[in-house]
Structure 1
Amino acid sequence: MHKPLADFVRPKTFDEVLGNKRVIDILKKLVKDNQMISLILYGPTGVGKTTLADIVASYFPLNHFRFNASTDSKAVLKQIVESVKLYNNVLLIVDEIHRMNRDIQDYLLPYVEKGNITMIGLTTENPYISVNPAVRSRVSIFKIIRPGGLEIETFLKNIDLSRYGKDITVTDEVYNKLSIACNGEVRTAINMLELLVLTADKNSIIDNDSLEKNLPEASKSTFKTGDNYYDVLSAFHKSVRGSAVNAALHYLARLLAAGDLKSLVRRIRAIVYEDIGLANPMMGVKVDAACNTALAVGMPEARNALSAITIEMCISPKSNSAHIAIEKALADVNKGLTYQVPSHLINNPTFDDKKPYKYAHDYEGHIVSQQYLPDKLVGTVYYHPQEHTKLEKIFSEEYKKNQKLINKKG
């Protein structure tokens, strides 16, 4: 029995890893200078988080350990901590760190804080949401993103298939389709390639016919579009945004033929709030109902609900003011403009100079003149109404009136 191909071709050095150059350059610098720090790597499955952790661990051949936060007990961690006495410092790779319970955290964190344990946490969850703040405050966090299709295709082409003892040629078309079908998961692409090789004759060419014959339906469904699946998704989104009903239906049909109902429904739910938004708020409710119906009945009946809602989204008035507003707000947050919340908006504040909070329901129209933004952001405007649609024009009038009352002095 051969070792699985995905494990056999797993990168052994940083230079062999696909994508994520910025993160890899940082890790290379840290290990080269022997200045490794505790960190968390997060991102979807199959993108190389474990591979990166293993490469770092290769620089600590005697003093690295693994701990699975969902299955290993505190006793296992105590054994690892005992090794600190031997090595002074150890590298600890924590799988599924978002599942680490409070008791284990309390035991581990002092060693991380003092530098006795350098921790690499791995998770598919967003650590800013799923990982305890006490852990986050002691580590650096890096997001690992999916590599591009071209990177994956090149990687597949460089795999030596001679280990199978077969004289096999894989066509460029197959490599291309595998790189698309894997949805950015390198391990999935390798597994599909291995399946094709294992089911091929000793002297053969793996072409599109071999692909359709031997690859499981769930893996080959994206091939039916005849294009990069995500290009078709993008064209569908832009057609709805541009109110082009017939084009949207054309791309919808191609996406339905691909059979990936979950991804299609996710995109439709994103479109309604990005491009229709406040011009027709009830469309969100209608989209949710149509998508739930589609997922409940499945194919082929799902096509009717998605066709109807696609037509209605195209015809609906459009506004992206909510999308633009939150993008501006996020840009400020990402620039570090996260100042102290005004003291009168904080529950149980410790400030001596706390101003009285004015309870809005005690005032006419439920609007009261008081400061809501942090001091350094007073006067900042994120939301700019788009008045070309009837409903948002009404929203605009209410918004402007309320802003005047909130900002009124005295």
Structure 2
Amino acid sequence: MFLFEAARNEPLAYRMRPRTIDEVIGQKHLLAPGRFIYRMVKANRPVSILLYGPPGTGKTTIAHALANTLQLPFAQLNAVDAGLKDVETIVENAKAYGQTLLFLDEIHRFNKKQQDYLLPFTENGLITLVAATTANPYHDVNPAIRSRCQILELKPLEPEDIAEGIRRALSDADRGLGKYTVQIEEASVAHIAQTCGGDMRKALNALEIAVQSTDEDDDDVIHITYEIAVECLQKRSFSSDKDGDGHYDLLSAFHKSLRGSDVDAALHYLSRLMESGDLIGLTRRLLCVADEDIGLAFPAATSHVVAAIESAERLGFPEAALPLGKIVMELCLLPKSNSVTAAIGAAQSDLHSKHLGDIPLHLKDAHYASAKKLGRGVDYQYPHDYPEGWVDQQYLPDALKGAQYFFPKEIGQEKQFADRYRWIRQKRSK
């Protein structure tokens, strides 16, 4: 018997869950001939794996399909509400009945002791662990567990994969909606496939609502129009877990699009970030770009960003999108220079890699009465006493004399700073 011989009152997404690996839709980078899971099944040599990816991409499905395909006893736990005693029970059952596939969902919720308990049993093959997490396993899963598992990333399903799942559900009379006579417009299929965010579960839930809430016509046919599909899946699905790995990927893509001067890409990721509601993360990226990637090429970029943030906060959404969109476009189109970032990085690097030496005596604090007795501040030359506002004197410690951290770029307003900087260094070298 298959694990998913579900009752008819179970949700469609549950009933249509693939029973074997051959039925799984998508994830071809893992399941296609020659890929890892395909080879594992063909060799009939189950190994422990750690699946991570967004919700609805097939982590639970693959675990059940593997157990059915490999004909292994199956046990399932969710680390949110399971404890060490639950794991111990499964291990004892495995000792009695043989090698068992344990599907452990949300494994990152287990503490180190709970994860470590599984180690000897995954090592000797008694337990084939299929662990699942929406979090980055390199951040949240015990290294000892990671070392015993093949880490496999699941990706959001493509629209064509979702469309295949919809058609499969409509034609399956046993587990799907095949008992109904349904006529569905291609535009309806496309809308669900495009707007479910790569989540098969959301797509099938929307399809089931559409079919079961639409009356049959005189010929007992249910017509699913585009308007019905929109009503049943009104809002595009986005991952908005602000602590999740995907959200940090979104912030990274936003920053790199700004740095790369791609206005269209930056506006796309801005829209996704606004949809997620992470105004703080979004505005921090804007400020960082102004200083890290534009820098001296247009120093006023920082104040422009601050003004845009204040405007957005006062307006609130949806109008906040206007100042945010405007500053995103401005940052993209401004000249870019990372000379500030590079200069600070080089200066900080010397702190940990070189002998620094003492601060020159003439630069030391001389505000107290006895400072001159210690040689503090003696021979200091006050730059404002000189016509050019500059005088040649040593500022770096002896050990770093002549060090150069700033390498200006001939771009935007930084060219003015570059000219002044070169003039000073030339005067000093004479």
TM-score interval (norm. to shorter): 0.5 to 0.7
**Aligned pairs, number:** 332
Q: Is the 8 A contact 1:241 1:275 kept in 2?
A: no
SS of 1:58's partner is helix
- The alpha-carbon distance between structure 1 residues 202 and 131, as it changes in their structure 2 partners (threshold 3 A), is same
1:22 maps to which residue?
Answer: 29
In 1, Cα distance between the equivalents of 2:79 and 2:308? 39
**Structure 2 gap segments, 5+ residues each:** 1-7, 239-252, 342-348, 360-395, 401-406, 422-430
SS of 2:317's partner is coil
Out of 198, 202, 215, the residue aligned to residue 212 of structure 2 is 198
1:278 maps to which residue?
Answer: 293
In 2, Cα distance between the equivalents of 1:320 and 1:12? 53
Out of 404, 411, 414, the residue aligned to residue 388 of structure 1 is 411
| Alignment of 1:133 onto 2:147 | no
| Alignment of 1:120 onto 2:130 | yes
| Alignment of 1:310 onto 2:328 | yes
CA distances 1:377-405 after superposition (whole Å, capped 9, x unpaired): xxxxxxx996534449979x99xxxxxxx
Q: Is the 8 A contact 2:51 2:133 kept in 1?
A: yes
Q: Is the 8 A contact 1:248 1:310 kept in 2?
A: no
Q: Is the 8 A contact 1:269 1:288 kept in 2?
A: no
Letter in 2 for 1:6: A
2:191 maps to which residue?
Answer: 177
In 2, Cα distance between the equivalents of 1:263 and 1:86? 51
| Alignment of 1:11 onto 2:18 | yes
Q: Is the 8 A contact 2:290 2:331 kept in 1?
A: no
TM-score, with structure 2 as normaliser: 0.63
In 1, Cα distance between the equivalents of 2:322 and 2:10? 46
SS of 2:128's partner is strand
1:40 maps to which residue?
Answer: 50
1:299 maps to which residue?
Answer: 317
What's the offset of the Cα at 1:280? Answer: 3.6
- The alpha-carbon distance between structure 1 residues 120 and 302, as it changes in their structure 2 partners (threshold 3 A), is same
2:232 maps to which residue?
Answer: 215
In 1, Cα distance between the equivalents of 2:183 and 2:234? 23
RMSD across aligned positions (CA): 4.5
In 2, Cα distance between the equivalents of 1:208 and 1:50? 31
Query: Following superposition of structure 1 onto structure 2, how do residues 248-263 of structure 1 map, counting pairs within 5 Å?
Result: 261-262=275-276
What's the offset of the Cα at 1:127? Answer: 0.3
Q: Is the 8 A contact 1:240 1:248 kept in 2?
A: no
Q: Is the 8 A contact 2:356 2:397 kept in 1?
A: yes
In 1, Cα distance between the equivalents of 2:65 and 2:310? 43
More helix by share: 1
Q: Percent identity?
A: 30
What's the offset of the Cα at 1:47? Answer: 0.5
- The alpha-carbon distance between structure 1 residues 360 and 73, as it changes in their structure 2 partners (threshold 3 A), is farther
Segments ≥4 residues shifted beyond 6 Å: 237-240, 263-276, 320-323, 366-369, 392-395
SS of 2:411's partner is coil
1:74 maps to which residue?
Answer: 84
In 2, Cα distance between the equivalents of 1:220 and 1:110? 40
In 2, Cα distance between the equivalents of 1:130 and 1:187? 25
1:151 maps to which residue?
Answer: 161
CA distances 1:340-369 after superposition (whole Å, capped 9, x unpaired): xxxxx9xxxxxxxxxxx7566657759989
In 2, Cα distance between the equivalents of 1:139 and 1:306? 43
Structure 1, 171-180 or 5-14: larger mean CA deviation:
5-14
In 1, Cα distance between the equivalents of 2:339 and 2:41? 46
What's the offset of the Cα at 1:277? Answer: 4.8
- The alpha-carbon distance between structure 1 residues 52 and 359, as it changes in their structure 2 partners (threshold 3 A), is same
